[in-house]
Amino acid sequence: MSITQVPAAHKQTQHILLEGITWETYQALLKDLSNHRSSRLAYDQGILEIIMPSDFHEMINRLLEAIVRALTEELGMKIKGYGSTTLDREDLARGVEPDSCFYIQNVDRIIGKKLDVLSDPPPDLAIEVDVTSSSRRRLGIYLQLQIPEVWRYTEQQGLVIYQLQAGEYQECEFSPTFPMISGKVLQPFLQQANSEDDNAVIRALRQWLRTHSS
């Protein structure tokens, strides 16, 4: 087993890579850590990534989560949020805990039941926030899990929307779930996170939606 650790810095998310990890060890670690933790795990055929989000990482994640909920409410859409629920498939030897994930199009198929990733459809939308560590490995896991839409935020690029098409993720201008929403549209609202409280940002987003949907 080899270990690669990225040093912490101001505003930086920390992550650790462990190689040569068996599926059984990964499952045991999930059980030991249970729900009482802030770290998130991703497992990809023997490689385990442990991510410890920074405050900035979580601020953006929570704001994006609030944005998705506001969009569904304003547009009259159903939603069920599963946060950082562990999505793992032993048959694929892969597992991941998104920053946030949601059922929207398939919400009626999972309401009132215990989620089973093997037999139920995957979440319709997942969010990944990258502050220092790349989410490319996790995107590969999402691809195997067949999650149809991923929002990826970085400080350099802002929000980029990916859609699963022809067996790979394609960057797209507008969200398949919210056709009027693009990374460019949401960027000004995300930038307000540094100077406004979350409720002010969501109020501004709701006003924008009402203006542009009339």
Domains contained in the chain, number: 1
Both tokens assigned to 166: 């022809």
Residue 134's domain comprises 54-212
pTM of the predicted model, to two decimals?
Answer: 0.90
Task: Find out whether 209 and 74 touch, Cβ atoms under 8 Å.
Answer: yes
Query: Does 132 fall in a domain?
Result: yes
pLDDT less than 50: residues of the chain: 1-10
Name residue, tokens 């409280």. Answer: 197
Angle 141-184-211 (CA atoms, 0-180°, nearest 5)? 120
Does 86 map to a domain? yes
How high is the pLDDT of residue 12?
A: 65
| Ordered strands of the 149-154 beta sheet | 80-81, 100-103, 125-130, 149-154, 158-165, 168-172
- The answer to whether position 120 is within a domain reads yes
Q: Does a structural domain hold residue 149?
A: yes
Token pair, residue 144, equals: 């195997």
Q: Tell me, yes or no, whether 151 lies in a domain.
A: yes
The CATH number of whichever domain residue 146 belongs to comes to 3.90.1570
Tokens describing residue 107: 């919400």
134 falls within a domain: yes
The CB-side HSE value for 126 (13 A sphere, CA atoms) comes to 27
- pLDDT per residue over 4-56, tens digit each? 333 344 356 678 899 999 999 999 999 888 766 778 999 999 999 998 888 88
Domain assignment of residue 32, yes or no: no
